[in-house]
Every structure is written in C-alpha cells, then in structure tokens.
Amino acid sequence: MRKLYFILFVLTSITVVSCIKHEIIPAPEYTVDLSYSFSGIIDGTKVNFTADSVGYVCTPTQEKNLVSPPQLSSAIFYTTISSQTEIASIQIGLGQISWDRTNGDDPSVDAFKSFFTQTSNAFPNYNDNCSSGFRVTYTDDNGAIYKSSEISTNYQDIKFTNIKQDSDATGDYSKYTCTFNCYVYYDSGTPMVTGKDSLKIQMGKLKGWFKK
C-alpha cells in the first residue's frame, strides 16, 4: 500500500511540474543615451540650459528640400534647446546633406553617418542659411532673435567633437559636442534692447544630437 501511495505521489508531482509554464522574459530593448546641455558666456553673462533647468528640452529637426530624381534632394539638420516656460533658447544648424530620392525621402543611414564624420563638417564654415555650413541662433530673455553671420568681421570658430552615431527603435542619431565662439546679430522677434545689435558668445558648448 505504501508503494502505491508513493507511486501516486510521484505521478502527481510529475503532472503538476509538467503543467507549469515557464515565462519567457524578452531581452531589454536597447535605448540610445541622449543627454544634452548648453553653456556659454553671452554678452558677458553666463548662460546654462540643461535638463535640470526649468523645462528645457533638446529637439532635433530637419529642413528638407525634396525633389524628383535625377536631381538630388537635400536636408539641413538643427538642434534646439528651448523651454515652454522660458523665452531664451539656443539653436545650431548644419547642412547640407544630399541624396538621390529614388530610394526614399531620407538619406541612407550610411550617408547620414558619413556626413557628420567628414572633416569639413567637423570644422564647418559659418553660413547664413546652413546650406553649406553652420549657424547659431540665439533668442534672448526678451524674445529678440540673434543669428551668426558668414560675413562677420569679428573672430569666430566652430568645432564638432565626440561625434558618435547610434540607433534604436526610435531612429538614427548623430551625437556630438559642439564648441564655438562668435558674435550673433539682431535678426527679428521682439525689438532689441538699445545698443544690443550684436551679442558676443564666448566658450559656447552645446552637447546634443542630430536625428535622421
């Protein structure tokens, strides 16, 4: 009788174990680390925009000119650090990348990556419309908009470093650190403060990304 009970116990245990379904836990999805900040001295005042600042976020955008092949389409890339609660903001733009639209409305990943790692784009010229270079746009606390100038007679420099391409389910990115010194000149927006037709940006450093 004891042997019978033992056999029944074993069979019951095997049945229970066989009914347990093992949960399959999917591997964690890779996410690109996107960190951003801006610091610099603008018109003699230290300025910082970071994720810890009041509502400041980093937004990548593109300005595309799509045409029919065999003409080449083009795109200019922008990074803007701005806030919904504060007026002051900073934007940089770099262009332009060209591609054959036969294969789509966006450049290939390889073309996107190589564009930002070219030496000429790591040390670009200042260009007013970003069609062949770099531009800085600064909006002050009052809403006056200032832009860099390709014909400025003042000293200006620009350098991209720490360029790294990365991708995840949300898209393809080119991360970078951009350092620059330049003057920006009143362009539009709220009327400028008297005597502030230009502002000097020193030790500007923007860490951010462009997105394809």
C-alpha of 193 from chain center: 31
Per-residue pLDDT of the chain (212 residues; tens, 9 = 90+): 444 444 444 445 444 444 555 677 777 889 999 999 999 999 999 999 998 888 899 999 999 999 999 999 999 999 999 999 999 999 999 999 999 999 899 999 999 999 999 989 999 999 999 999 999 999 999 999 999 999 999 999 999 999 999 999 999 999 999 999 999 999 999 998 888 999 999 999 999 999 99
How far CA 79 is from CA of 6, 37, 62, 70, in Å, comes to 72, 11, 9, 30
CA distance 186 to 160: 25
Torsion of CA 109, 114, 120, 122, to 10 degrees: 80
Check: pTM over 0.75? Answer yes or no.
yes
Q: Extract long-range pairs of 142-145: CB within 8 Å, 24+ residues apart.
A: 142/87, 142/190, 142/193, 143/87, 143/189, 143/190, 144/186, 144/189, 144/190, 144/191, 144/192, 144/193, 144/196, 145/186, 145/187, 145/188, 145/189
pLDDT value of position 176: 98
